């Protein structure tokens, strides 16, 4: 991360997903696909992955992503040691180099759509588009009452009916975008107590 990074760069995880394999135009929202994504997000336990994050200014960070329903943690190795933890409707970002701690509420941020417990893609959440590619499923969503607050798009590998999260893109209210590209995705990790604590020091 270059000096003078902004909150929109570090925290407002945002961007319309552009999974390369998804070339088709948005189609009719398929309730079966919606149900599959809901089930994946609500039942996938102990997910870990290597992650490359691209910020709105083109800066790159690398590290590890950890997910349990309702909880997300990003541990950055580059450009320097940082940690983002989101749980219980709030987010805390710690930056070792700047010795700073930033806290924010997720109720008006697109990342909050991923961390509802349980995730329900209906009612207060509107699925705006579903795209299919070769073994790829892409789904976009926004808050029904205020879609201008941001767009969350998730990309999944889709093999033999089994989904695996491979990308998270969000677009915030200011149209700042950030992409998280996931590789080496694994599930079943037994996270220790307090792993997703908002108060744990870096």
pTM: 0.85
Banded model confidence at residue 23, pLDDT cuts 50, 70, 90: very low
Is 2 domain-assigned? no
**pLDDT for the residue 30:** 74
Least confident of 23-27, 42-46, 59-63, 103-107: 23-27
Q: Please tell me the distance from the alpha carbon of residue 125 to that of residue 130, in angstroms, as a whole number.
A: 14
Is 12 domain-assigned? no
Tell me the percentage of the chain whose pLDDT exceeds 70: 86
Is 78 domain-assigned? yes
Tens of pLDDT, residue by residue over 44-71, are: 999 999 999 999 999 999 999 999 999 9
Between 8 and 113, the more confident residue is: 113
Is 1 domain-assigned? no
**pLDDT for the residue 85:** 98
**pLDDT for the residue 87:** 96
Banded model confidence at residue 28, pLDDT cuts 50, 70, 90: low
Say yes or no to pLDDT of 3 above 90.
no
Please provide residue 111's backbone torsions phi and psi, each rounded to the nearest 5 degrees: -60, -30
Least confident of 6-20, 47-61, 81-95: 6-20
**pLDDT for the residue 65:** 98
Is 167 domain-assigned? yes
**What does DSSP say about strands 90-95 and 82-87: parallel, antiparallel, or unpaired?**
antiparallel
Q: What is the secondary structure of 37-66 as a DSSP string?
A: HHHHHHH--SEEEEEEEE-TTS-EEEEEEE
**pLDDT for the residue 148:** 86
Contact 195, 73 (CB under 8 A): yes
**pLDDT for the residue 4:** 36
Is 10 domain-assigned? no
CATH for 139:
2.50.20.10
Contact 155, 19 (CB under 8 A): yes
**pLDDT for the residue 149:** 85
**pLDDT for the residue 126:** 94
Residue 75 tokens read as 């541990």
**Domain of residue 123, residue span:** 31-182
Which of 112, 110, 92, 111 has the alpha carbon at shortest distance from 102? 92
Is 103 domain-assigned? yes
Q: Please tell me the distance from the alpha carbon of residue 100 to that of residue 186, in angstroms, as a whole number.
A: 31
The residue written with tokens 């008006």 in the block is: 108
Contact 62, 76 (CB under 8 A): yes
Output the CA angle 51-57-60, nearest 5 degrees.
Answer: 25
Is 156 domain-assigned? yes
- The count of domains in the chain is 1
H helices present in 86-193, as ranges: 111-114
CA 109 to chain centre: 11
Residue 134 tokens read as 């070769």
Looking at the DSSP bridge assignments, the partners of residue 136 are 133, 157
Which of 63, 160, 61, 68 has the alpha carbon at shortest distance from 117? 68
């Amino acid at each position: 991360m270059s000096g003078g990074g902004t909150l929109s760069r570090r925290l407002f995880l945002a961007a319309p997903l552009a999974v390369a394999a998804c070339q088709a135009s948005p189609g009719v929202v398929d309730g079966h696909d919606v149900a599959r994504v809901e089930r994946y997000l609500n039942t996938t336990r102990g997910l870990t992955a290597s992650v490359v994050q691209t910020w709105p200014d083109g800066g790159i960070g690398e590290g590890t992503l950890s997910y349990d329903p309702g909880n997300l943690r990003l541990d950055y190795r580059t450009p320097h040691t940082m940690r983002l933890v989101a749980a219980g409707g709030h987010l805390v970002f710690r930056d070792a180099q700047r010795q700073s701690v930033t806290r924010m509420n997720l109720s008006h941020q697109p990342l909050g759509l991923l961390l509802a417990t349980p995730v329900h893609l209906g009612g207060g959440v509107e699925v705006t588009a579903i795209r299919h590619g070769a073994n790829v499923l892409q789904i976009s969503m926004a808050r029904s009452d205020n879609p201008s607050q941001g767009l969350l798009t998730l990309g999944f590998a889709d093999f033999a009916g089994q989904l695996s999260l491979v990308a998270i893109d969000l677009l915030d209210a200011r149209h700042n975008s950030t992409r998280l590209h996931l590789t080496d995705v694994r599930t079943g990790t037994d996270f220790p107590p307090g792993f997703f604590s908002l108060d744990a020091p870096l």
